[in-house]
């Protein structure tokens, strides 16, 4: 509960995966755990995104509106390098709705985007004398806090 000290508060993001929103069949809540599972329309599985370790940052901010509360979720991370083979996939990701799952070092898996509120992917490429790579953002606005997946 909120009154108890969270002993695992220093968790880090260890993996990020995505799948296209168009491939979602449905989300299903497990009554025993309160967590969700996801079924896809296709036989495709989650696709991993390689990112610079310890660069991922997640935030979820509530915003009050006349219609209620909107939760603005944002995941930002660095993807090192530049690769010509990755360009078609990056262009496709920038133009499609997605869902993403974020795995933490404590085993928790957060879902960014749902079957009703998809997430958006965007990247900002940068090359200079210190670094070459992209700062990637995955964002989602939803009417509820983001969901946790069964592992």
Q: What is the mean pLDDT of each run of 10 residues along the chain (151 residues)?
A: 53 94 88 87 90 94 93 94 78 90 94 91 88 91 90 70
Distance separating alpha carbons of residues 149 and 113, to the nearest angstrom: 12
| C-beta contacts of 140-143 below 8 A and 24+ residues apart | 140/72, 140/73, 140/112, 140/113, 141/70, 141/71, 141/72, 141/73, 141/117, 142/70, 142/71, 142/73, 142/114, 142/116, 142/117, 143/68, 143/69, 143/70, 143/71, 143/117
Averaged confidence pLDDT in the chain = 88
Q: Which pLDDT score is estimated for 56?
A: 96
Q: What pLDDT score was predicted for residue 1?
A: 45
What is the value of pTM for the model shown? 0.86
């Amino acid at each position: 509960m909120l009154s108890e000290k969270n002993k695992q508060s220093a968790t880090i993001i260890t993996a990020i995966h995505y799948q296209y929103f168009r491939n979602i069949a449905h989300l299903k809540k497990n009554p025993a755990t309160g967590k969700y599972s996801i079924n896809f329309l296709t036989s495709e599985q989650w696709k991993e995104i390689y990112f610079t370790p310890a660069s991922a940052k997640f935030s979820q901010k509530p915003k009050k509106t006349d219609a209620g509360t909107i939760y603005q979720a944002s995941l930002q991370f660095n993807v090192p390098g530049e690769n010509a083979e990755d360009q078609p996939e990056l262009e496709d990701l920038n133009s499609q709705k997605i869902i993403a799952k974020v795995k933490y070092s404590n085993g928790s898996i957060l879902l960014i985007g749902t079957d009703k509120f998809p997430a958006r992917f965007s990247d900002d490429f940068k090359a200079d004398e210190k670094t070459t790579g992209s700062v990637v953002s995955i964002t989602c606005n939803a009417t509820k806090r983001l969901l946790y997946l069964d592992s």
